[in-house]
Chain A
Amino acid sequence: MIFPQRWCMKKKQGRLFLAVAAFSLIACLSANASAQSILGNDWEKFFTEKVSFGGYVENTTGLSISHGSRYFNTSNRFIMNRFVVQPEFNVDLSEKFKLFLSWRFVAEPRYSAETKSREASVQPAGAGGPLPVDFYSEYKGVPWEAVADIFPNDRLHVRIGRQFISWGETDGARLLDVINPQDLTFAPPAAPNLFNLDETRVPQWGMRMLYTVRPVSNTIFEFFANPGFEAKKDRVDNFAPTNDIGDGTADGDLRYGRWSSHPEDRTSVAAMFANPVGPVPVVVPLAKRDYPDAGDNWKIGTRIKHNFGALSVGVGYIWGYNPQASDMVFKTKGVPFLLGPPGSPTPTGIRLRLVNDRTNLFAAHFNYPVGDVFGIPIKSAMRGEFAFYPNKPYNISEFPAKDCTTNTVFLPPNPRARRAGPSCDHPDNLVEKNTIRYAIGFDRSTFIPFLQDDPWRAFRMTFQIFQTIILDHEEGMRSFGHAQKINQVSTLLTFRVNTGYLGDTILPDIFIGYDVAGYYIVNPAISYQPPWNEKIKMTLTSAIYGGRNKYKSLGFFSEKDSVFLQLRYQF
């Protein structure tokens, strides 16, 4: 009999063997390209001329400074001690063929605050066991990124392998950047000064082709395809609040990560999908995350970019699986049913499936440098992104709940009164609406001499506005996991400013996000890069959230304010 721990070790050993074997294979294959023998000087010459090695080692320690709540007392607890090693190799086999390989090894301990939260909040009491030790860890022998770059001719570039593809123009937040999923289980949301987008994206296997049709105007045709033969979970965002959705089985769905919503916020969503069918006014969700199967998770996209003078424009189209957590919906499966024998006072059950749908996404983006306008020195780079989602699904409910058979609102003392309930007009609790998302951003470098030791060291400032507009909006549309309604127009503003002092040895950076519905994130950071070693970087940063309540938007994290110390050594 193989015990689970031993089995895991064997599995890890197997991965390690695979990694070593893969590297050896690459080395052997590469040697053929440049030398007749892999021995002696040829070997050394190959490594000197064709292979470059880099990467980093990083430790991030986080301390929660929030007062927490009776359910989630996180105050002054270590919430992160993340250790990452990422080696990276470039192998230039020839002018027409290159390889890039990286591995990411992550080790994190189990955090007691999360475990306690889980034990306290999962119902029935005691059902929530400890988190697996390797919840946030990565020991995969599979390369983090493994791409073969092929250049059949001067204008064609094909990249095959596990890779990242990012469209768009925005900074610190995503709009068209929906090709790769994102792992936000470990990273505080909307805090790019701690973990930037590149560190939170999950690479995917795929192919990307760029063909330069007309170089002088930067007319570039692009096509990509992600066949989706990743593990199911790696195809969609691992987004903190959604991890609370699960059926309690051993597939790892039920997780209470450090950025999960507060236990008291984990309202019984089932009552928004079904009214009780028996006398007991309780509806129990039998929820399951519905990950995509192999046959339905292809993603393909195409885009063309072109410069009209100083205006740079791109238009594109993506069809396939939409990985974004914020676009997920609950779909009911079957009809409500009694959880016990008929006639007994048992609650009602409803089966829910949390899904990312396939989507059509029509995309466009632009950038344009603005100089002086009517004599006013704007001197900014203007940029924008636009996404049109036809028939994007949303969950919808009645506010307040109604008895759909009589079309009357529940009144006190009925416990359903003044709460959201299932939609009467849409029995599947879903509507599909054409949706527009866009972002406009301005980047500017500005001199503020009195704030600088070097008056000509600029402050880089970025302002962005993100808006989502739901066409033909209906009252009652809401996010899948809670009863907070979605407005027809949602707006997020971001502002970022950074600079460097003393020869860029001290680098302050602050990112602020403000949801005009009344929620915010402040993510200041200050980094120190010693003047005597370019490889070392130390960053002190924090993520501070707040707003009108803790049930929506950035307010989800309002009791999880934290500070982090990040130490990085590059090699």
Chain B
Amino acid sequence: MLAILLTIIVGIASTPLRLQAAEPDLKPGDKIGPNNWQRIQGMVGENFLNRVKAGHTIEIKQPKLYKPLKEYADATAKYSGKVSLGPNGELLNYVAGQPFPNLNLKDPQIGQKLAWNFFWRWLGDDYQTGGAVKGGKIIRYVIEKDGAERRADLTSYFIFPKTRYMLDPKPAIPGYEHIDYMQLRVDSYPRDAAGTTTLEIRYDDPKRADDLYIYIPSIRRIRRATTTQRCQTLAPSEFNLDDINSFNGKITDFNYKFLGEKKMLANLSQERMPFPRKTGDYLPLDEKWEVVDTYVLEITPKDSSYCYPRKVLHLNKMTFDTHWTLIWDKRGDYWKEQFGMFTPVKLPDGREAWSVGDVTIVNVQNGRSTIVTSTRAYNQGYPISMFSLATLETVMRGGSIR
């Protein structure tokens, strides 16, 4: 009898459930503030909730629904049947699309599969981060605890050479099947940083570290950088290398645990870029929030010396983008909270897609925050030769890539 009881208890404990959160009885037009903050408890980060408790008010709006892009859905249907996980969590037989569209939430490998779905979510064939922001650049503000602010402008260009859906050649650029993505980043403001250009390459070989080359204007040379110290703060921001796009680590370097499904507050139709806010504060004003369904994924490192012993992503069930990213330190104290807003963008062919808009990361321990406005322009048709070392030497201070 006792054994049966224990079995039931263990079974219940190990089964992913709907996580405890406020009842999702929120309706468009509802306003949440210090008097009724309990209604969103568990649906936002703890730090954000504390700001609501302290006086910040938000409004709920109608959810924005996006349709999966046909080419991505077709690739998923065509290739996902052969995809499987290797013994170390690596992806086998992957070609394009979502690797694991048919998720069984009781699958013991569900965490790893969600991680791969996140990694290979639809991000276009290429994109310019900041390309859909007025001025065509990413705008980054670093806000100190006392409200002092510094601005920096930059641009980045991504290409996914082995998962091409809309641009020829498809499904991969010949010769680039071993590369997951390449990224060019150009700093353009302030002047002393302007012209600093990086080329980052992510290989599909789980054992091969990323390549990172940096063109430094003050010496006018390309320097190689190591990417193995992925925890280093990208000062003055609060991001590190693995915080880009919420989680930018090598999938096989981490363990994943599915914590359950959860309704969260998010913004999938950000109206203004950057969002209006009070100078010296990161809180978005005039932006409304909506309720979205998410998968909650816990990430723990295989390397015990890694900076984040625990990171939790809240993945949108349709787009697999992250709405809330919560991070704890080695003492178990809450450390960083990241939330990303999304916005509709037009593809070159006129169809609607979605892009990240403003991403905010708050270090709750030191009080600093960073806001990055980075709306993407997808499928720009960048030539693959653009992602070579030659490009790094062509950018002048304050200039742009061709």
Give residues in A with beta carbon < 8 Å to B.
52-56, 88, 90, 92, 95-96, 98, 100, 147, 149, 151, 154-155, 157, 159, 164, 166-169, 171, 177, 196-199, 201, 210-212, 215-216, 218, 220, 305, 310, 312, 367-371, 377, 379-381, 383, 443-447, 453-454, 456-458, 500, 503-505, 529-535, 537, 568, 570-571
Give B210-250 as 1s and 0s: 1 = Cβ < 8 Å from A's Cβ atoms.
01010001111101111111011101100010000000000
When distances are taken between beta carbons in the complex, the residues of chain B under 8 Å from A167 are 221
Q: Which of B189, B213, B235 contacts A54 (CB 8 A)?
A: B189
| Tier of interface size on chain B | 35 or more
Contacting pair A531 B144 (CB below 8 A): yes
A196 touches B366 (CB 8 A): no
In the complex, the answer to whether B388 meets A98 with C-beta atoms within 8 Å is no
Given A154-B383, A210-B394, A531-B150; A447-B232 close (CB under 8 Å): yes
Given contacts A54-B398, A216-B175, A532-B149, whether A379 and B385 have CB atoms under 8 Å apart is no
Collect the chain A residues with CB atoms within 8 Å of residue B229's CB.
379, 445-447, 458
| In the assembled complex, B192 has its CB within 8 A of some CB on chain A | yes
Cα(A310)–Cα(B150), bound, Å: 36
Is B225 in contact with A381, judged by CB distance below 8 angstroms?
Answer: yes
Contact between A154 and B386 (Cβ–Cβ < 8 Å)?
yes
Chain A residues lying within 8 Å of B211, measured Cβ to Cβ, are 310, 369
Residues of A contacting B180 in the complex (Cβ-Cβ under 8 angstroms): none
B146 surroundings in chain A (CB, below 8 A): 531
Nearest chain B residue, comparing its CB with the CB of A459: B232
Q: Given A218-B388, A532-B150, check contact A504 B236 (CB 8 Å).
A: yes
Tell me the complex Cα distance, A198–B389, Å. 20
Residue of A nearest to B383 (CB): A154
Q: Please determine whether A215 and B388 come into contact, CB atoms closer than 8 angstroms.
A: yes
* Min distance, Cβ A58 to any Cβ of chain B, angstroms: 11
In contact, A88 and B398 (Cβ under 8 angstroms): yes
Known: A100-B396, A369-B227, A534-B190. A151 touches B389 (CB 8 A): no
B400 contacts A92, CB within 8 Å?
Answer: yes
Write the chain A residue with the least CB distance to B147.
A532
Complex alpha-carbon distance, A529 and B223, angstroms: 25
Do B235 and A454 touch (CB < 8 A)?
yes
Which residue of A has the minimal Cβ distance to B176?
A216
| Contacting pair B224 A220 (CB below 8 A) | no
Given contacts A98-B402, A220-B389, contact A197 B307 (CB under 8 A): no
Given known contacts A210-B390, A380-B226, is B232 in contact with A56 (CB within 8 Å)? Answer: no
Check A533–B150 contact: CB distance below 8 A.
yes
Chain A contacts of B399 at CB under 8 A? 52, 90, 92, 98, 100
Q: How far is the CA of A375 from the CA of B91 in the complex (A)?
A: 26
Instruction: Name 8 extra pairs, CB < 8 A, besides A171-B219, A456-B240.
Output: A95-B402, A98-B396, A169-B221, A215-B384, A305-B389, A312-B224, A369-B226, A369-B227
The answer, yes or no, to whether B324 is at the interface (CB within 8 Å) is no
Q: Pick the contact of B148 from A151, A305, A456, A532 — CB < 8 Å?
A: A532
In the complex, whether B397 has a CB less than 8 A from a CB of chain A is yes
CA distance A54 to B195 in the complex (A): 11
For the complex, give the distance between the alpha carbons of A159 and B149 in Å.
38
Question: Are B388 and A456 closer than 8 Å at their CB atoms?
Answer: no
Q: How far is the CA of A215 from the CA of B227 in the complex (A)?
A: 21
List of 8 A-B pairs having minimum Cβ-Cβ separation, nearest first? A570-B191, A367-B224, A531-B148, A458-B232, A532-B148, A154-B383, A100-B396, A534-B150
Interface pair B192/A56, CB less than 8 Å apart: yes
| Residues B128-186 near A (CB distance < 8 A) | 142, 144, 146, 148-152, 175-176, 179
Asked whether, in the complex, the Cβ of A381 is within 8 Å of the Cβ of B218, the reply is no
B100 at the interface (CB under 8 A from A): no
Instruction: Evaluate whether A215 and B385 lie within 8 angstroms (CB atoms) in the complex, with A169-B221, A369-B209 already known.
Output: yes
Q: Within 8 Å CB of B150, what residues of A?
A: 529, 531-534
Q: What residues of chain B lie closer than 8 Å to A367, measured between beta carbons?
A: 223-224
CA A220 – CA B386 in complex, angstroms? 12
B393 within 8 A of A: yes
CB contacts (< 8 Å) of A454 on chain B: these are 233, 235, 366
Q: Which of B213, B223, B233, B400 contacts A457 (CB 8 A)?
A: B233
**A-side contacts of B240, CB under 8 Å:** 456
B220 touches A90 (CB 8 A): no
- Measured between alpha carbons, how far is A312 from B231 in the docked complex, in Å? 25
B402's partner among A151, A201, A535 (CB-CB below 8 A) is: A151
Closest residue to B173 on the A side, CB-wise? A216
Closest beta carbon of chain B to A52's beta carbon, Å: 5
**C-alpha spacing A312/B399, complex, angstroms:** 26
With the chains together, A197 CA to B386 CA distance in Å? 27
Contact present for B217 and A443 (CB under 8 Å): no
- Nearest Cβ on chain B to A131's Cβ, whole angstroms: 29
> What residue in chain A is nearest B203 (Cβ atoms)?
A310
CB <8 Å contact, A198 and B219 = yes
Q: Which residue of chain A lies nearest to B398 when distances are taken between CB atoms in the complex?
A: A54
Chain B residues with CB under 8 Å of A443's CB are 223-226
Chain A residue nearest in CB terms to B146? A531
B190 & A52 in contact (Cβ 8 Å cutoff): no
**Interface membership of B265, Cβ < 8 A:** no
